[in-house]
Chains A and B, each alone.
Chain A
């Protein structure tokens, strides 16, 4: 049976936890920015102006159709040639946000159009103003429709953030690489970081379910 070097847990534990914290922070920021971008893009695609619709469509298609790694390399290595020299961390967040935004745009677009027109008409006929309709009827329904895919997005971003290790952002995968390089042993760092990612993932999923049940309590 192969040996598991427990001393690595002790020696690199702090480094792994720090990396996990960075991963969580970067993912949270990127997801929030990405959601905002996604909402804007979704609205743009449903707007009456053709130019806006077209631009949003291009953004969504291109960012969903190309690998995040290539986008990351571009933002990190090519932009400096045009005077935009972002730090590794900023470049990583920008790349993740743009990537998430494109996927979130599609989720939002589907959510907005899925809210049954009938609901809106019924609400209006009952005398609710447009604002009230939006807040009391449309939003909660949208919440149930989009919350699961969106917690999905967050967990997705947590996993995609591992790519940021390639451009020197000190997140969890980066910590694993460092441990592998210094201990000459790949097993322990991979298992430890894998476990930490798995934990993060499950925690987010649990939290998402909690929030969803809270928000939709009144609809039950």
Chain B
């Protein structure tokens, strides 16, 4: 029975509590309701090998922020994209053993917090492996290139490279490495005697608002991964333009909790297997139109 069906059952049973013929019946009805709702994949115990736990539960819960085309986004009610395709292939071994993939679409800012709080087993989204994050979480081998580029409105001639951002307004999503990069850049400007970035607006989630705000002028520019920007320029020709690249090459990877080494090993093994078979290149051509040079080991950025 799906969880939704169980919730409905609980809801229909619960009102019996109010009309039950005796207090005992009421208590019983409420207890039944609670059990039905909370029963099932409720308690996550990360100690006894997460991978075995997943196989026993027959379900793996994966968190994604499906607002980051073309890596992961929602179309027609389903999560699609480069990472979606890759995930399906990586999970093939498990799905063959009857494990259900439960993919949650959640806001980016709290993704890592939720992983720490054991609300799900792993994160499969465009996430940067940074040294700071690696202190608490484990990262897989890189799945894609995420080097930061800048995007502005097409007719914005004032900004053609990162240094032009001094005194301008930028926007970035909360809790992302892009945001940190903007803050660091602003500090650098100030050290060199400039005013720094005039304002860094932090957005709740996704790039929809950010791109729209560049278009309507609320912000002057925004940082994002080069592959994303390449796709943006293709999908909406003439509205935006690239304004240079920022920082060293950085990579996206998937994340697990630090103690779940068995799941991490499984993911890395599967990813490398697919990479060797040329699947990475195939998917990259499909979703980006170009292939990427990626390291074979987890590579952390600053």
Contacts and interface: CB of A to CB of B under 8 A. Distances in A.
Tell whether any CB of A sits under 8 Å from a CB of B in the complex.
yes
Interface of A: 76-77, 80-81, 85, 87-88, 165-168, 170, 174, 177-178, 180-187
Interface in B107-125: 108-110, 112-117
A183 B217 CA distance: 32
A62 to B, nearest CB: 24
Contact of B204 (A177, A183, A186): A177
Q: Secondary structure of the A side of the interface?
A: helix
Contacts of B201: 88, 168
Contacts, number: 61
Contact of B116 (A87, A177, A184): A184
Interface of B: 108-110, 112-117, 136, 171, 174-175, 201-204, 209, 212, 216-218
Given A168-B171, A177-B174, A184-B113, 6 more contacts: A80-B212, A165-B204, A168-B209, A170-B202, A181-B108, A181-B110
7 contacts: A77-B209, A80-B218, A168-B202, A168-B204, A174-B202, A174-B204, A187-B117
Given A178-B202, A185-B113, A85 B175 contact: no
Contact of B109 (A77, A87, A167, A177): A177
A59 B209 CA distance: 27
A88 B203 CA distance: 11
Given A88-B201, A177-B109, A178-B175, A186 B209 contact: no
Residue among A80, A87, A174 with most chain B CB within 10 A? A80
A88 B171 CA distance: 12
Residue among A166, A168, A183, A185 with most chain B CB within 10 A? A168
A181 B216 contact: no
Given A166-B204, A168-B203, A186 B114 contact: yes
Nearest to B136: A184
